[in-house]
Homo-oligomer: A and B are copies of this chain.
Amino acid sequence: MVAKLTVAAREKALAGLTDWTFDEAKDAISRQFSFENFSEAFAFMTRVALLAEKAGHHPEWSNVYDTVSIILNTHDAGGLSQKDIEMAGKVDALLG
């Protein structure tokens, strides 16, 4: 079982994820991604799905045409954990 990050650990981790927004109420991080069209957006979603399945850590996410919104937190930890930080980093890395 993974632990929820301490405030200090969270602040340190988020300093490296400048494109993600921390939602204190949900204890989650989110980011919105825009693409050229649906095909590009869904291609990205497919890559995120493979990352998520490999990590055993799945996002709460939505899509409308060329936009994808991803929310990450760790249900078992009751908030943000190292798993979310790692997943956010991997998602960012997809965009090169």
A residues lining the B interface (CB < 8 Å): 38-39, 42, 45-46, 49, 52-53, 58, 60-65
Chain B proximity of A26: nearest CB distance (Å):
13
Task: Find out whether the CB atom of B49 lies under 8 angstroms from the CB atom of A60.
Answer: no
Task: Find out whether the CB atom of A42 lies under 8 angstroms from the CB atom of B38.
Answer: no
Known: A38-B49, A45-B45, A46-B46. 18 other contacts (CB 8 A): A38-B52, A38-B53, A38-B58, A39-B53, A42-B46, A42-B49, A42-B53, A45-B49, A58-B64, A58-B65, A60-B62, A60-B63, A60-B64, A61-B62, A61-B63, A61-B64, A62-B62, A62-B63
Give the chain B neighbours of A63 by CB distance below 8 A: 60-62
Give the chain B neighbours of A39 by CB distance below 8 A: 53
Expressed in whole angstroms, the Cα–Cα distance for A60 and B60 within the complex equals 14
Give the chain B neighbours of A46 by CB distance below 8 A: 42, 46
